[in-house]
Each structure stands twice: as C-alpha cells, then as structure tokens.
Amino acid sequence: MDDSQEHNLGALVTQWYKKNGRQNLPWRKSVTPYKVWISEMMLQQTQVVTAQSYYRKFLKKYPSLSSMKMATEDDILSLWSGLGYYRRASFIYQAKEKIFLDFNGRFPATYDELITLPGIGRSTAGAILSIAYQKPFPILDANVKRVIARLFLKKDFKEGLFWNLSAQCLDEDDPYSYQQGIMDIGATLCTPKAPLCPECPLNKNCLAFKKNDFRLPSTKKPIKKDVYLEFSLYKDGPRYFLAQTEALGFWKKLWMPPVKIVNKFNATNKHALSHRHIHFRFKQITNLPTDMKGKWFSKKDLANIALPKPISDKLLQDG
Ligand code: SF4
C-alpha cells in the first residue's frame, strides 16, 4: 500500500459512513461529550444491541452531566443492573465526582484532561475527542483492531504498531464521521467470521481481501475459574433481605441475598463472568440471624437498586 492510498482511507470511510452508517443509534442523535462518554463506557464491553435500552434508561434519568451532579454510586449502579462489568458504573461515578471537583463541572475537552478520568483509556478518550469535539484522535477498540489487522495483514497484535496504523487511517477533515464509520465497518462488515468484503469501501486497499487471508491475531482467552455459591433467601411477606459484600471479589456494591462460597455441587444455575464460571443455588431460610448486616427491600424497590443478573432474574420471577 503506497502513501497516497493510505491517505485516502479516511475519506473512503467517511463517505461510506455518510451513506451507510448506523446514524440512528440513540447516542448519535444530538451529540454531546457527556452522551458520547456514557455510550462509550457502555460499549466498552457490551454489544450495541444490548447497550441501546440501557443507554435510553440512563439518559432518561440523567440527560446531562449537571443532572448527574448529586447522583450516588448506588444510583448509577442501579441503572447498570444486569448489564455486567459493574466497574464501568463505578468509574462513571468516580469520573463525575472528579469533573465537578477538578474541572468545575465542565466536561474535559483535551486528551490530557480526559485521560485523568477513571475508566477512560486512550481509545475511549480518542472516541470522545473525535465524535464530540471533531478532533482527529485514533481509537483501537476490538472492531477497529480487526479492521486494521486485515487491512494491513498483520498477524501479530503489536499495540504500538496498531495505534500508529489506526492514526494513519484517520480522516482529519471529518473525524466524527470517520470514527463512527470505522467502528461500523468493524461491527457490520469486517466481522470476525465472515467479512462482507464486496460491500466494504476499503476492499481495494485491503491486503487480507487481496490475499484471501482473513485470519486474525490470536487472542488469549482468560482461563475461567469455577465458583460455587449458595444464596440464603430470607423473605418476609413481599420483602427480601439483601446485603452487599466484598468477600466474593466480584459484584462488590451490588445487592444480593447473603451468600457464601461453598464446595462443588451439581448446579443447574450458571452464570458466566469474564474470569469466572459462577454455579449457584438458593436456600430458603426463615429465621434471620440478629447480627446479619443488610436491608429489607420490597419487590418494587428492586427496580431501583443494582442486582447481579442471576439475582434479579430469581427475585423478579419469584411470586
Ligand atoms: S475488505 Fe474485507 S477484510 Fe478488508 S477491511 Fe473490508 S471487510 Fe475487512
């Protein structure tokens, strides 16, 4: 690929986005830095299709940064209930606190400022700067990484090199459309298993397409540990007794029935986390020990607190 071809890549992506991009996604309407931030945090580990309803719910409660000023961490976690990777919600809370403390409530507009916020790394900062501020900064999320790997036929993932290639592709004239476009190409055309190359605006420049070789750099999957949990369900009429615990090492700050890690058992209930397979069961308990720490919640309250997905599924289906 010569320099002039590389130079054109950004414009090709921009043109394609304007005609074919997913411009109807909720976070692409009346864009603000705040909205881009919330959507990018959600999209870090969640598919677009799932993120949309959570994003709408979040924006309904907190339509702007100023509306979130007094929100507690629990308030933000409750909007994340069921979405997983709850650290992202805690990061939003911590970043919001920092914005009001250190930036006087002004959403940061430079890379050096953004990168100081909890939960914002180089790629999320790049997305906010390009999309909300029209500043050409590269991003390197999973979709863009895949496009770069194939476009330049790179079989090993070398972070520095991929950042340089991502920066080379930018369209400095229209960072907003380019960035949305490259993400959409990664998500809708350059898919992991069956890329739709004939429809891709980059196919004339793409080495993987030319060589018919679409293999991607190998990624090491984390080895997942099995964890067996027993939840004690205390019920008083329509109310549940729930507690927060740090003892599990995950689901910190989420509400759940008192729980303990137990020896392996034959579980029918399973739930996957990024680094663990959770196997769990429930035990109905009638007498609550007097020293048990926690709170009682009515079924109606459950909608306003953060619960792990298996717990919300269980309690909401319970009669
Ligand atoms: S031509 Fe095919 S492999 Fe190359 S970037 Fe486009 S979709 Fe991906």
pLDDT in tens, 154-210: 999 999 999 999 999 999 999 999 999 999 999 999 999 999 999 999 999 999 999
pLDDT in tens, 38-51: 999 999 988 999 99
Q: What is the DSSP letter of 185?
A: I
Is 303 strand, coil or helix?
helix
Residue type, 158: K
Q: What is the mean pLDDT of residues 47-62?
A: 95
- Residue 203 CA to ligand 1 centre (angstroms): 6
- Residue 129 CA to ligand 1 centre (angstroms): 26
**Given the CA of residue 214, which atom of ligand 1 is nearest to it?**
3
CATH superfamily of 225-317: Nucleoside Triphosphate Pyrophosphohydrolase (3.90.79.10)
- C-alpha torsion angle, residues 200, 206, 180, 106 (rounded to 10): 180
**Given the CA of residue 206, which atom of ligand 1 is nearest to it?**
4
**Given the CA of residue 203, which atom of ligand 1 is nearest to it?**
1
Q: Is the dihedral of CA 262, 267, 273, 277 positive or negative?
A: positive
Judge residue 45's burial from the number of C-beta atoms within 10 Å of its C-beta, 0-12 exposed, 13-18 middle, 19 or more buried.
middle
Q: What is the CA radius of gyration of the chain?
A: 23
Domain boundaries, the chain: 3-211, 225-317
pLDDT of residue 220: 77
204 or 300, which is more confident?
A: 204
Of the residues 5, 145, 151, 199, which should be mutated to test ligand 1's pocket, given the most ligand atoms within 8 Å of the CB? 151
Residue 311 pLDDT exceeds 70: yes
Active site residues: 40
- Residue 117 CA to ligand 1 centre (angstroms): 34
pLDDT of residue 222: 78
Strands 276-285 and 239-242: unpaired
Instruction: Give the whole-angstrom CA distance, residue 239 versus residue 203.
Output: 59
Class (C level, CATH) for 3-211: mainly alpha
**Which amino acid residue places its CA nearest to atom 2 of ligand 1?**
197
Residue 83: CB partners within 8 Å, gap ≥ 6? 42, 46, 50, 51, 54, 89
Element (H, E) at 122: helix 122-133
Is 91 strand, coil or helix?
helix
pLDDT of residue 94: 98
pLDDT in tens, 1-43: 444 444 489 999 999 999 999 999 999 999 999 999 999 999 9
**Which amino acid residue places its CA nearest to atom 7 of ligand 1?**
190
Residue at token pair 């009638």: 286
Q: What are phi and psi of 227, to 5 degrees?
A: -130, 135
**Given the CA of residue 189, which atom of ligand 1 is nearest to it?**
7
- Residue 182 CA to ligand 1 centre (angstroms): 11
pLDDT of residue 231: 95
Residues with a CB atom less than 6 Å from ligand 1: 147, 150-151, 189-190, 195-197, 200, 202-203, 206, 208-209, 214
On average, the pLDDT of the chain sits at 93
pLDDT of residue 82: 86
